Amino acid sequence: MLGKPVDQTNVITCHLGNGSSVAAVRNGKCVDTSMGMTPLEGLLMGTRCGDIDPAAVLYLQTALGLSAKETDTLLNKKSGLLGLTGSNDLRAVIEGAGEGDARCQLGLDMFVRRVRKYIGSYMAVLDGEVDAVVFSAGIGENSALIRGLIVERLQGLGLSADAARNAAAVGGKQLDISAPGSRVRLLVIPTDEELSIAQQTLQVVSKAAPVAA
């Protein structure tokens, strides 16, 4: 879509779904990702809290008398949008915010802000040389509203979306939603996690030593 060789391409990928992450890709290779040892680090997600002060975890354990397992359950399965709004479905959160639900509005604002924050930080990681920001996965592919909210306050960093193109990019379509003059291209590209898993599994298996009889 960019007309450049992969090894000369810098992109920021935003995989936005019930589980979400952002990655910085320099010359075709990932150099940073919002996820850490586990998927818990990084963005606010459907049920995961994302980035949090470690001291807050210790405080919760002490104040509530939680075990390590209970704390893990709280952070991974009862936090994020679910903890903030009562629903882990962003569509329900958007609907609630539209109806004036303050908790849903807070959850929506926090979700968008976290993505913006990572895009900005990864532009710094890539020394400001970014060819494109890519939106993918369930939310990234299908929510023109979320894409628009994320981009609307990043024009100072060279990101500008075309409203009509953005609105048309739903239902698994692969489209360039950049506005004319946008310094950084904005792309919507459907993800295929199953294919990626299969390809990586084949790669690992093909390199494995044959089992002795």
| Tokens linked to 152 | 């609307």
Please check if 126 is assigned to a binding site: no
How many Å apart are CA 51 and CA 64, to the nearest integer?
20
Please check if 99 is assigned to a binding site: no
Please check if 19 is assigned to a binding site: yes
Please check if 70 is assigned to a binding site: no
Please check if 108 is assigned to a binding site: no
How many Å apart are CA 203 and CA 133, to the nearest integer?
28
22 close to 122: Cβ distance less than 8 angstroms: yes
Please check if 141 is assigned to a binding site: yes
Please check if 17 is assigned to a binding site: yes
Please check if 129 is assigned to a binding site: no
Please check if 15 is assigned to a binding site: yes
Going 97 to 103 to 106 to 108, the CA torsion angle's sign is negative
How many Å apart are CA 84 and CA 25, to the nearest integer?
31
How many Å apart are CA 185 and CA 197, to the nearest integer?
27
Measured in degrees and rounded to the nearest 5, phi and psi for residue 58 equal -65, -40
SS3 at position 174:
coil
Please check if 91 is assigned to a binding site: yes
Please check if 16 is assigned to a binding site: yes
Please check if 89 is assigned to a binding site: yes
Would you list which residues are annotated within the binding site? 15-19, 89-91, 138-142, 193
Would you list which residues are annotated within the binding site for Mg(2+)? 193
Would you list which residues are annotated within the binding site for ATP? 15-19, 89-91, 138-142
